[in-house]
Structure 1
């Protein structure tokens, strides 16, 4: 059983000073040279060097988002009340726990009418992978499984995770459980879990 602890994630400041990103997991792209993507981040609209990435971003100032041409994004506000997201000129009020899908190459900016927000971001290479985010309310009586190709991020509350013959482990806020089909982790508790699925696109 693999748990990615939020406390161990490195905060990478945005170039425009508007926030920081903590990468939870990513799959490098074998077709992109690493020198084209320093630190695995978008650089002037060039390829970031991965086929998918899941991250948590703290947005502390209104401004532009980095472009990811050829990618698809799913953004979910997980802390804070409201993000006003502008995508190619159309404004979208982003409320907590409501995933929103949009093109990574779109001209995107955000406003913070009620203060700072924290977002869960899923970015996938269009035509190769499809990302999905579901918000699940946990139960103390019925475990929620996290399967292979999924990540379970504890957004709020208290929870434990167990798999196979191993004993249960406590999850802290924003800790991530890596899914498995062989010894499927089961999450029990009270609160909300974001289940991120990364599915390969069939030819």
Structure 2
């Protein structure tokens, strides 16, 4: 079971000075932030959280599809190819990375969750889930579960559990613990914006009170 701790991620400043971005996961995993640019990203998909403190243009991502969700703050007024879209908290919005996009902040700074996928290769989805203390929410292979608000813990489940089988997902590009180890693991506390990497083996299960973003990355069939 793998947890990406938001507090340990490096902030990458925007070129226009309007904010910073922290990458949660990408595929293939870039060797360094400098390996990618908005025009020639070194990945086929990326999940990140951005802090937006200044109105201005968004970087274009030609050949990409974007899903943007405000996760902190009240409102982002997003302009896409001249059309204005008021984006309220926890309402995912999909648009083309080829579009000319800009953001205004009528109610102050915001933080947003960004899912960017290469068109024709992958498709990204974002769902906002209200957590329960009684019924655990599983995070499957090809998904990330990101705690947006509240208190929660995560534990490895028993789905697909086989001795000696490794857990974890391709999403974070790093090894995870064996199922025999995670089966007896105690619940782990999640902090705000921590991400749980999904798996179909010892599937992570999240319990708590608050809201969870579930990001799914599906490969597009040929």
Q: TM-score range by the shorter chain?
A: over 0.9
Matching of residue 47 in structure 1 with residue 32 in structure 2: no
Q: Which residue of 2 aligns with 1:167?
A: 186
2:35/2:42 contact within 8 Å kept: no
Alpha-carbon offset, residue 167 of structure 1: 1.2
Alpha-carbon offset, residue 41 of structure 1: 3.1
**Structure 1's 3 and 174: CA in aligned 2 closer, same or farther, altered over 3 A?**
same
RMSD: 1.6
2:145/2:214 contact within 8 Å kept: yes
**Structure 1's 64 and 8: CA in aligned 2 closer, same or farther, altered over 3 A?**
same
How many angstroms apart in 2 are the aligned matches of 1:122 and 1:41? 16
Q: 1:126 aligns with which of 119, 123, 128?
A: 119
1:18-167 pair list within 5 angstroms: 18-28=18-28, 38-42=34-38, 46-163=39-156, 164-167=183-186
Q: Which residue of 1 aligns with 2:15?
A: 15
How many angstroms apart in 1 are the aligned matches of 2:202 and 2:98? 38
SS at structure 2 position matched to 1:50: coil
How many angstroms apart in 2 are the aligned matches of 1:199 and 1:96? 24
Instruction: With the length of structure 1 as denominator, give the TM-score of the two structures.
Output: 0.93
How many angstroms apart in 2 are the aligned matches of 1:114 and 1:49? 34
How many angstroms apart in 1 are the aligned matches of 2:35 and 2:53? 22
How many angstroms apart in 1 are the aligned matches of 2:36 and 2:93? 23
Q: Which residue of 1 aligns with 2:2?
A: 2
Alpha-carbon offset, residue 165 of structure 1: 2.7
SS at structure 2 position matched to 1:67: coil
SS at structure 2 position matched to 1:7: helix
1:29/1:51 contact within 8 Å kept: no
Instruction: With the length of structure 2 as denominator, give the TM-score of the two structures.
Output: 0.86
| Unpaired stretches in structure 2, ≥5 consecutive residues | 157-182
1:160/1:168 contact within 8 Å kept: yes
SS at structure 2 position matched to 1:38: helix
1:158-197 pair list within 5 angstroms: 158-163=151-156, 164-197=183-216
Paired residues, number? 196
Alpha-carbon offset, residue 77 of structure 1: 0.0
Alpha-carbon offset, residue 29 of structure 1: 8.2
1:82/1:94 contact within 8 Å kept: yes
Runs of 4 or more, structure 1, over 6 Å off, are none
User: Which has the larger strand fraction?
Assistant: 1
How many angstroms apart in 1 are the aligned matches of 2:67 and 2:90? 12
